[in-house]
């Protein structure tokens, strides 16, 4: 479903996409158009999570041209390379140099679907969480088949700065574990599909106070746009599904999730 600019201004407004990879090559030729469509749909802010040290410079370049871009720096488990000590040193240096631009550490986490052993991934996760702890910043957590490990890692790190579980999928019990640890849950395109009912039910039980909206653009397309590049403008469809599930208006979902974003990423 598409929303007119008039509808967006009246009923949506000020919605924030808390996870969109606008620095990736998928957007290099038409980023201005992508952002224009998003604004017309009522999206007023965009958080770009980091995945590699090389990508942090691209994130900064995008932010330098716009006032509605927020950044997180981190090393995604898919792109773990080389020396952990060197990588963490680069992360610490980059965050220190650009402290006013960075509101979180991420995208970091654990992924059981890649070849890199979880034990090695856990070392990188703990080291990056330590940087977040030192800088008093929240984290953006990636997970794939690792809910059995992530809460334990948060506790092991003694991490209390909170964060968001990106693209949350899981049951109500898993959701409650993260909420109890001070984390928000990222609601994305998964909940727009029938197969996402378990996740949607878990989000409803967790409560609107614990949810952020995200698209994971250019990935995680919403229902009806399979096979197409995802864009922040599609965030409204995700908000609509949440509104129906909670029995509230899209405007209420916008108000609550934007407040959640501002509370979590206090520097944003």
pLDDT in tens, 72-126: 999 999 999 999 999 999 999 999 999 999 999 999 999 999 999 999 999 999 9
Predicted TM-score (pTM) of the model is 0.94
Note if the bond before 107 is cis, omega within 30 degrees.
yes
Average pLDDT over residues 160-164: 98
Query: What's the chain's length in residues?
Result: 268
Asked whether residue 13 is assigned to any structural domain, the reply reads no
Helix (H) or strand (E) holding 244: helix 235-246
User: Tokens in use for 192?
Assistant: 């727009």
Task: Provide the pLDDT confidence category of residue 242 given band limits of 50, 70 and 90.
Answer: very high
Q: Which residues contact 102 (CB under 8 A, 6 or more apart)?
A: 71, 72, 73, 94, 95, 137, 267
Asked whether residue 54 is assigned to any structural domain, the reply reads yes
Answer yes or no: are the C-beta atoms of 169 and 178 closer than 8 Å: no
Q: Is the dihedral of CA 259, 261, 262, 263 positive or negative?
A: positive
Asked whether residue 5 is assigned to any structural domain, the reply reads no
Look up the domain containing 107 and give its range. Answer: 24-264
Residue at token pair 């201004």: 9
Q: What is the pLDDT of residues 118-134, one digit of tens each?
A: 999 999 999 999 999 99
Asked whether residue 12 is assigned to any structural domain, the reply reads no
Please give the tally of structural domains in the chain: 1
Helix (H) or strand (E) holding 155: helix 150-157
Asked whether residue 210 is assigned to any structural domain, the reply reads yes
Residue at token pair 């949350």: 168
CA 253 to chain centre: 17
For residue 259, the domain's CATH number is 3.20.20.140
Residue at token pair 């996740």: 199
Q: Nearest to residue 160, comparing CAs of 127, 185, 134, 182?
A: 182
Task: Provide the pLDDT confidence category of residue 204 given band limits of 50, 70 and 90.
Answer: very high
Residue 69: strand, helix, or coil: strand
Asked whether residue 18 is assigned to any structural domain, the reply reads no
Asked whether residue 15 is assigned to any structural domain, the reply reads no
DSSP character at residue 46: E
CA 232 to chain centre: 12
Asked whether residue 11 is assigned to any structural domain, the reply reads no
Q: What is the pLDDT of residues 30-60, one digit of tens each?
A: 999 999 999 999 999 999 999 999 999 999 9
What's the CA gap between 131 and 190, in Å, rounded? 31
């Amino acid at each position: 479903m598409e929303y007119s600019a008039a509808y967006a201004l009246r009923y949506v407004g000020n919605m924030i996409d808390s996870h969109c990879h606008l620095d990736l090559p998928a957007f290099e030729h038409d980023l201005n158009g992508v952002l224009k469509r998003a604004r017309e749909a009522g999206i007023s802010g965009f958080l770009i999570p980091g995945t590699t040290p090389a990508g942090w410079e691209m994130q900064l370049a995008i932010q330098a041209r716009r006032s509605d871009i927020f950044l997180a720096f981190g090393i995604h488990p898919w792109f773990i390379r080389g020396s952990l000590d060197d990588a963490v040193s680069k992360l610490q240096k980059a965050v220190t140099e650009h402290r006013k631009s960075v509101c979180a550490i991420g995208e970091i986490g654990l992924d059981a679907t890649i070849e890199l052993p979880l034990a090695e991934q856990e070392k990188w996760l703990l080291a990056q969480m330590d940087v977040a702890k030192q800088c008093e910043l929240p984290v953006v957590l990636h997970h794939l088949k690792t809910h059995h490990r992530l809460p334990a890692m948060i506790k092991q790190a003694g991490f209390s700065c909170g964060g968001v579980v990106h693209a949350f999928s899981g049951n109500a019990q898993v959701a409650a574990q993260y909420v109890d640890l001070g984390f928000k849950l990222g609601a994305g395109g998964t909940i727009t599909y029938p197969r996402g009912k378990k996740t949607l039910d878990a989000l409803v039980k967790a409560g609107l106070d614990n949810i952020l909206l995200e698209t994971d653009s250019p990935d995680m397309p919403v229902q009806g746009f399979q096979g197409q590049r995802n864009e922040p403008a599609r965030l409204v469809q995700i908000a609509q599904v949440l509104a129906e599930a909670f029995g509230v208006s899209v405007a209420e979902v916008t108000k609550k999730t934007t407040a959640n974003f501002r509370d979590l990423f206090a520097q944003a």
